[in-house]
Amino acid sequence: MDKKLTLSAPWVLLFHELEAFFAEDKEVRVILDADSFTIKLYVSDEEKADALTQLLPPEKQIGNIKVTITVIPPNKLGVDKFTLFQKAFKGNPAVNYTRSINSLYNNTMNFIVFKNKVVQYFTDDLGDINHVRSTLYQDIAKELFGEHEGIFYCTDTPES
């Protein structure tokens, strides 16, 4: 096996995370412009684009580099976060379903339940000889979208 060891810039890993997360979503295309440290998400559904614009950080600091994340078309929507998640993930095969549950003291708990599938994508992690990261959609979502009060990322149970 004659593999050439290469290291990529940290913002390329962020691009690979976004690309892996939306790989099966036909309404989202992720493009990296490495020269300007910009990741662009081209979204064909306007509501999904609006939701992603509000959920994804507009820029991410990686060391001394600011990576810009741009969703095209631009945001025009102003609704609650769970509705934004539902619109952003609509039609994405990675998501099995979303559910809101009223808990004790009338608090609403919102769950985004992802497909029970291991997702693999390229990484320059030297801890893996094949340069592949294996994780779940739930973990990628947590990394990309961060924590939001009352919203929980989950993985569905396997079918029996």
Average pLDDT in the 78-83 region?
A: 72
In a domain, 35, yes or no: yes
Instruction: Lay out the sheet containing 38-43: strands in order across.
Output: 28-33, 38-43, 65-72, 59-62
Q: Is the pLDDT of residue 80 over 80?
A: no
Confidence of residue 20 (pLDDT cuts 50, 70, 90): very high
Does residue 126 or residue 56 have the better pLDDT? 56
Q: Which of 73, 92, 76 is nearest to 145 (CA)?
A: 92
In angstroms, the CA 20 to CA 89 distance is 14
Residue 137 lies in a domain: yes
Structural domain contains residue 3:
no
Say whether pLDDT at 74 is over 70: no
- In a domain, residue 86? The reply is yes
Buried b (16+ CB within 10 A) or exposed e, 63-77: eeeebebbbeeebee
Q: Is residue 21 part of a domain?
A: yes
**Torsion angle in degrees (nearest 10) through CA of 107, 142, 91, 102:** -10
- 3-class SS at 151? strand
In a domain, residue 160? The reply is no
Q: What is the mean pLDDT of residues 66-75?
A: 80
Is 2 a domain residue? no
pLDDT at 8: 77
Residue span of the structural domain in which 33 resides: 10-155
Q: Is the pLDDT of residue 107 over 70?
A: no
Domain-located, residue 119: yes
